[in-house]
Structure 1
Amino acid sequence: MRKKLLLLLSLGWIFNYAHRMAIPPLIPIIKTELGINNAQAGLLMTSLLLPYALIQVPAGYLGDKLGRKKLVVISILGYSLASALIIFAKEYWELLSIRALYGIFAGLYYAPATALISDIYKGRKGSALGVFMVGPPIGSGIAPLIVVPIALALEWKYAFLVLSAMSAIIGITLLLSIKGELHEVEHAKLRIPKHVIRLSIMNFISMLAFFGMLTFLPDFFVNRGRSLEEASLYFSILSIVGIAGSLVGGTIYDRLKKKSLILSLGFNAFLSFLLAKTAMPIIMPILGLFFYSVGPIVTAYTAEQATNENKGSVMGFVNMMGFFGATLGPYLLGVLIDTLGYGEAFYFIPLMYMVALIIIGTQKKRISHT
């Protein structure tokens, strides 16, 4: 039962990311069709990430209070339906509104899912969360493989109907195959310890860099003379190799704890600097190993900063701060690209990783909770 739950939760997380990351490979098409600039294109990510961020703490607390599995099922079915509504969007503002609705339902997922996995796997939480956190690289990797062929053969909006049908099946399977709640919290508390603040600020900055790069990476390569198909391939390579990065990151965290986070942020700063300077595709698979290792490491590290009673709230708070950064990242990088061009704007990414490294590196050691 434990393995089945981890599999289904991981699949739900994969499609959570596939829906949100379906936009970046389609940006060249959407910009042409709607007549929007890079900053407006960045808002297509911001519009979902802001409500996603705002609902994180309530999602964590409600998961602890009402049932984590129950809230996860509501999230999957809700974000599937919301994303399918894109087929009806005709104006730019309509697309923004639907993406915001998607962000609300998608935001109900992370905190209850990660808190549930952490409690069930306990001492092996890093390895288990490493499996769960293959969601971002796999979801981001399969997104262009699904949506670009559909966009070129039919129309880009139909791609979201396909994704919605696939993710809805996962939600229904989770509802029917896992009976009841596997872990219940007797006295849920909405309490955020002070020592979590520095971790949250670090997550804000690293996610700002992460989502800024992901949003404009295909267009970055198109700007450097690559075709849309080739740019999408590089995007997928980053994410596919990131599967190994996620698995290894979680496993290494169980051994190195906080040191694994410092190493991961350092390599991301160095490799993203090389990408901005050279735009060499060979960097993508190497970067993928470290780019996606941050997620499971931060998640496992966060879980150890909380108690059973406030774990959902703490997971939600740290993720909320991260997605405030994710909300700002695409728009800010879009503005920098419009102002400075891709060459100079992409140097912003390694700078942010270095700042995040300094913040978490100077944090005093805290007693872990299990």
Structure 2
Amino acid sequence: MAVPLATALTDRIDARRVYLVGGIFASFGLLGMGFLASNFWTALLFMAINGAGLAGTYMPGLKILSDRIEAGELTRPFYTVFFGIGTGFSYLCSGWILNALGWHYVFGIISLGPLAAFLIVLFLIPPLAHEKWSGPLRLHIRDLFPVHQWKQVLENKKAAGFIFGYTAHTIELFASRSWIVAFFAFCVASSGELFFLAITTLAGIINFFGVPASILGNELALRIGRQKWVCIVMLTSAVCGIALALSTGHSWWLILSLAVVHAIFIMADSATLTAGLVISAQKNIKGAAMGLHSLMGFGGGLLGPAIFGFVLDIAGSRSSHSAWVWAYIAIVIWGVLFVLYERRKGWVEKQINERS
């Protein structure tokens, strides 16, 4: 819910200022979760504050770059990649802190991450030479939800394809990241065979494979075409996700191998989708396009883990092998449906014609 406000502000003021506020919110939410939350509702409040902080840093961080460098440089996927690096370190550090100090300190110490981001941006990113808006800062509902501009964005079929693809991508990505530790725990319980490392450590290591996957995936996309690459990756990722779910009860090396391959293909189109949107959106509505892209993406990130858990419950509970298979099917199917829909509309063929 904070995404429209954060992205609308970046069109009026320096995105650096939005990012600084987002960093404070993210850090405070984690500190509150670790040391002030006492029940479900207070935990919900502090995690919502942390989520608003994430909304105030992720896309505004990309806007900081786009306001300071040439647009062509944004085709390089390093900004998106470092989100995956942070996620991997989060798993690693959380597992170590949990074992050493308990869950309260997990949130307390992890809060140093957004605080460090705040300090980096404050001291290392110079403000824009000229502010974007000289008059009084007044935001109306049409600024937070620029429906007219969003319609213009969606009329660009190429840009709309990248936005819808990003939504399908985040459903699978966030669901997989949210449930991978629980899935590993189920695999250990069902097979009776321990993994060679703690499951939180393994989850962190697996996430790091997404870093080179995103970089190399973007380079391949530039060679064979972004839309074609996105379709290939989404279909392959769906197959890998289902294969991973079917691996329960087998040896840990097979489970980990499939988890690594799935993580690679989940991330192989991440940077491509964002870069494709930035490049294809019209310049005069690029801010609105990035806002819609982020809003749809975070919406997918919200729905993905919930869909996974809901299907897991109705398909036979956490102790059922088939329930985990259906849960994985429920999150990978969106990418398959996206590919079928966009191919029917000629998304890939249109790009080939444009290039030729």
Q: Shorter-chain TM-score category?
A: 0.7 to 0.9
Deviation at 1:135, TM superposition (A): 2.7
Measure the CA separation in 2 of the matches of 1:121 and 1:250.
Answer: 18
Counterpart among 323, 348, 351 of residue 330 in structure 2 = 348
Q: Kindly provide the CA deviation profile for residues 135-192 of structure 1, in whole angstroms up to 9, marking residues without a partner as x.
A: 33212211121111211222212112212123312311221222212787689x8522
| 1:230 is aligned to 2:198 | yes
Q: Secondary structure at the match of 1:268?
A: helix
Moved more, 235-244 or 255-264: 255-264
**What residue number does 2:340 align with?**
358
Counterpart among 300, 316, 336 of residue 325 in structure 1 = 300
Measure the CA separation in 2 of the matches of 1:64 and 1:205.
Answer: 27
Q: Secondary structure at the match of 1:232?
A: helix
Deviation at 1:197, TM superposition (A): 4.2
Q: Secondary structure at the match of 2:21?
A: helix
- Conserved 8 A contact 2:2-2:56: yes
Q: Structure 2-normalised TM-score?
A: 0.79
Q: Which amino acid aligns with 2:75?
A: G
**What residue number does 2:95 align with?**
148
**What residue number does 1:133 align with?**
80
- Conserved 8 A contact 1:124-1:254: no
Residues 162-177 of structure 1: matches in 2 within 5 Å?
162-177=109-124
**What residue number does 2:44 align with?**
96
Larger radius of gyration: 2
Measure the CA separation in 2 of the matches of 1:202 and 1:350.
Answer: 12
- Conserved 8 A contact 2:167-2:299: yes
Counterpart among 232, 250, 254 of residue 263 in structure 1 = 232
| 1:83 is aligned to 2:30 | yes
Moved more, 62-71 or 194-203: 194-203
User: Cα 1:248–1:151, aligned 2, differ >3 Å: closer, same or farther?
Assistant: same
Measure the CA separation in 1 of the matches of 2:242 and 2:124.
Answer: 46
User: Cα 1:313–1:302, aligned 2, differ >3 Å: closer, same or farther?
Assistant: same
**What residue number does 2:183 align with?**
220
- Conserved 8 A contact 1:198-1:359: no
User: Cα 1:186–1:89, aligned 2, differ >3 Å: closer, same or farther?
Assistant: closer
Counterpart among 262, 269, 286 of residue 294 in structure 1 = 269
Residues 153-192 of structure 1: matches in 2 within 5 Å?
153-181=100-128, 190=146, 191-192=149-150
- Conserved 8 A contact 1:134-1:242: yes
**What residue number does 2:55 align with?**
107
Q: Which amino acid aligns with 1:248?
A: L
Measure the CA separation in 2 of the matches of 1:116 and 1:167.
Answer: 16
Deviation at 1:198, TM superposition (A): 4.5
Measure the CA separation in 1 of the matches of 2:258 and 2:268.
Answer: 16
Using CA pairs below 8 Å that are at least 6 residues apart, which structure has the higher relative contact order?
Answer: 1
Runs of 5+ unmatched residues, structure 2: 135-142, 249-254, 316-322
Q: Which amino acid aligns with 2:313?
A: D
User: Cα 1:296–1:186, aligned 2, differ >3 Å: closer, same or farther?
Assistant: farther
**What residue number does 2:140 align with?**
none
Q: Which amino acid aligns with 1:241?
A: F
Deviation at 1:240, TM superposition (A): 0.9
Counterpart among 181, 186, 207 of residue 239 in structure 1 = 207
Measure the CA separation in 1 of the matches of 2:297 and 2:286.
Answer: 17
Deviation at 1:237, TM superposition (A): 2.7
Fraction of identical pairs, as percent: 20
Measure the CA separation in 2 of the matches of 1:162 and 1:204.
Answer: 31
Residues 269-284 of structure 1: matches in 2 within 5 Å?
269-279=238-248, 280-284=255-259
**What residue number does 2:72 align with?**
123
| 1:336 is aligned to 2:304 | no
- Conserved 8 A contact 2:23-2:114: yes
Q: Secondary structure at the match of 1:330?
A: helix
- Conserved 8 A contact 1:110-1:316: no
Q: Kindly provide the CA deviation profile for residues 18-43 of structure 1, in whole angstroms up to 9, marking residues without a partner as x.
A: xxxxxxxxxxxxxxxxxxxxxxxxxx
- Conserved 8 A contact 1:73-1:175: yes
Q: Structure 1-normalised TM-score?
A: 0.76
User: Cα 1:210–1:173, aligned 2, differ >3 Å: closer, same or farther?
Assistant: closer
Q: Secondary structure at the match of 2:56?
A: coil
Measure the CA separation in 2 of the matches of 1:332 and 1:106.
Answer: 21
